[in-house]
Structure 1
């Protein structure tokens, strides 16, 4: 009993020696790298808003930014697992173009001309999306098999895939663009009809806040159950409040962006609604691709944190030899990671092609750079064994913010690529410095 008392006293003494910031970080258990990335994001947004003459932090631009981020964020969640395993996937952009072209040709040509489907038939988008996901799964399995069982380095396999699948995307239609796509399929790209409106958006916000409260309470009860140290109540309330404020703020921004005047007029005429003198305000609300990205993020977070497969991935990335000696089937786990990557690429391809209402040979060009940069900026270590899904998604938002801001500033595309490449190099350098100090 005296030993326990002395240990507690010693812990309190060490805490008293810490500064206010250190005590705050210890109480809230916040990741310094995550805070640094959020700080960088706020700084970038502030600077871009000032340089763009107040155009960046507007509901319209932020809503478009969320839609543009969705496809990259989805692929970044898969890239986390790939990099945690000490591998890399350079083929995701080319895979996105090929899978997008397959889905486009399937719904715009094959299902209609060969199988006699009529335009607007509800099964078209289901079949197209299902075949796209299956194609991505097969490609990912092929990459994973060659890497895991034939022991060819992932860099070489996916570099070959970058060339092969980009060429295959061109080969499907000899470089021709396939358009238009199925009307229901287009909803996955966002737009006025591809959003859920103000009412449902607030419902999602309330559900998200309730989910945050549940996770906080459940996490605290689990800590009590296994006798782990508890965060102070004020820290729990603060973290939950900040998370809920972020959710409500994001929904408020989405609901502040109205439909364009022309679309509102056609909508009112079709339904016999009289447009008032000041105009009719119809909010976009949360875009469907954003909901898809959030859903993928939740699922991937659960997979990495709550499943045996996720623990295996991090164990292999931390020490492959020890994981193999512990009885983990490292080859099968590696193959499954690349299969998951292929499925996520297919979902991103559906979002990107739906947003363009076309399947093009150039779809996904250089997306591999954005995806890898998003994962690394989000805290995924190229040395393996460390990474978070939420960090990668925030990294995708940061990268897309840079691109969106540069477009608003009228910066040429080559210079945009220079900036993105420089950010990737700096992110890897910072990761190296951080690992040396930990």
Structure 2
């Protein structure tokens, strides 16, 4: 006869298997990131997981992460934007010119460049929304135009050095610490923000669960819900602890977190977000239900252009310069990060949290292989195989979902 403990263990394992099976698309990327970090931590004798390397890794991820957020929404509505790489490079060069030659302050330059990015996104959307030209073709034209524009504005010097310390701090600086120290050698404010983030996350999840229960919606079993809270809270705490061991949170990470928070709220809690996913799921049905597909197309591409501008700012700030080659392959990195993060090539599926995890997976592969001294040729092959695996995983899970 089974004991009560054995029954509880069987129930727990059954619940775990069921939750993972039903949410494999959502949790698969987290598992992949966890496995990658363990492998590289072992193969690099702990260097990969060090505070300094993780801080550099997050800063390197920043410009790809913000692009991946925008690209996720573009792919969700069944389009693609190939222009964003050189658009980011071009607008980063515009920012450098404005700072160095026009002598404008950072507080003016950054909003100006973001507005220019949004306008560029609208221009890309114009032939797509009005003339039904495939976004691949329209954005490829933008890719060529912005590549030429970047070469034109950097033709005289090749590299434009940025000397503005405020601007350079965006990509290289860290948030200040509080005057007192809780643990010697650790960034106190980062630790406090980590605690606040954990508390906010737990309260938010509990509130969401209670709302679903009030309306008799399906929720996770209690043991799985508690396991999820513990797992995510532990990850947040470990990240805060590791970051606090170096210089604390970077301004790049703060910007990325703000972008993720804003876009996560918009896509999950607003009418606009619901309309975006409705258009991605079935554009014809969305149009018949009163949703303006043209309007959504303009909004998503304008958002993509603005995030491309932010990516250009982060990249130029990190390098402290604008170069002729800035933006090369950025669009492909963003597309890869979005697909690895769970966005569906068929549209209608994907979220900004997944795109950030996808960007981390993608950049972690590069960083880990660099630390191991693996040749760049093999790095491209590995990243390509990972991308193929992500797309196959997407197709397989969608077919399984239809047959279930």
**TM-score if structure 2 supplies the norm length?**
0.89
Cα offset for 1:178?
0.9
Residue in 2 that maps onto 1:6? none
Deviates more, 1:198-207 or 1:246-255: 198-207
Is 2:223 aligned against 1:223? no
Residue in 2 that maps onto 1:156? 137
Deviates more, 1:420-429 or 1:350-359: 420-429
Residue in 1 that maps onto 2:73? 81
**For 1:252-331, what aligned pairs fall within 5 Å after superposition?**
252-257=241-246, 284-331=247-294
Residue in 1 that maps onto 2:159? 177
Is 2:117 aligned against 1:146? no
Secondary structure at the aligned position of 2:159 is classed as coil
- Where in structure 2 are there 5+ consecutive unaligned residues? 1-7, 178-186
**Residue 244 of structure 1, aligned match among 221, 233, 237:** 233
Rounded to whole Å, the distance in 2 between the matches of 1:43 and 1:223 is 32
Rounded to whole Å, the distance in 1 between the matches of 2:324 and 2:81 is 20
Rounded to whole Å, the distance in 2 between the matches of 1:420 and 1:178 is 31
Residue in 2 that maps onto 1:348? 311
Q: Is 2:341–2:358's contact at 8 Å kept on the other side of the alignment?
A: yes
Residue in 2 that maps onto 1:407? 370
**Residue 366 of structure 1, aligned match among 323, 329, 346:** 329
Residue in 1 that maps onto 2:113? 132
Rounded to whole Å, the distance in 2 between the matches of 1:34 and 1:229 is 17
Q: Is 2:162–2:168's contact at 8 Å kept on the other side of the alignment?
A: no
Cα offset for 1:22?
4.3
Is 2:97 aligned against 1:105? yes
Q: Is 1:28–1:236's contact at 8 Å kept on the other side of the alignment?
A: no
Larger radius of gyration: 1
- Where in structure 1 are there 5+ consecutive unaligned residues? 1-15, 112-116, 118-123, 258-283
Residue in 1 that maps onto 2:87? 95
Is 2:202 aligned against 1:213? yes
1:49-76: CA deviation from partner (whole Å, max 9, x where unpaired): 3333432122211111111112111111
**TM-score if structure 1 supplies the norm length?**
0.83
Is 2:348 aligned against 1:385? yes
Q: Note the aligned Cα RMSD (angstroms).
A: 2.1
Deviates more, 1:327-336 or 1:225-234: 225-234
1:83-138: CA deviation from partner (whole Å, max 9, x where unpaired): 01111111221111011011111111112xxxxx6xxxxxx111110111011111
Rounded to whole Å, the distance in 2 between the matches of 1:94 and 1:137 is 14
Q: Is 1:28–1:239's contact at 8 Å kept on the other side of the alignment?
A: no
Change (3 A) 1:392 1:60: same
Rounded to whole Å, the distance in 1 between the matches of 2:320 and 2:22 is 41
1:174-233: CA deviation from partner (whole Å, max 9, x where unpaired): 16211123101111103xx43444122122112211211221222023113322234444
Cα offset for 1:362?
1.4
Q: Is 2:83–2:139's contact at 8 Å kept on the other side of the alignment?
A: yes
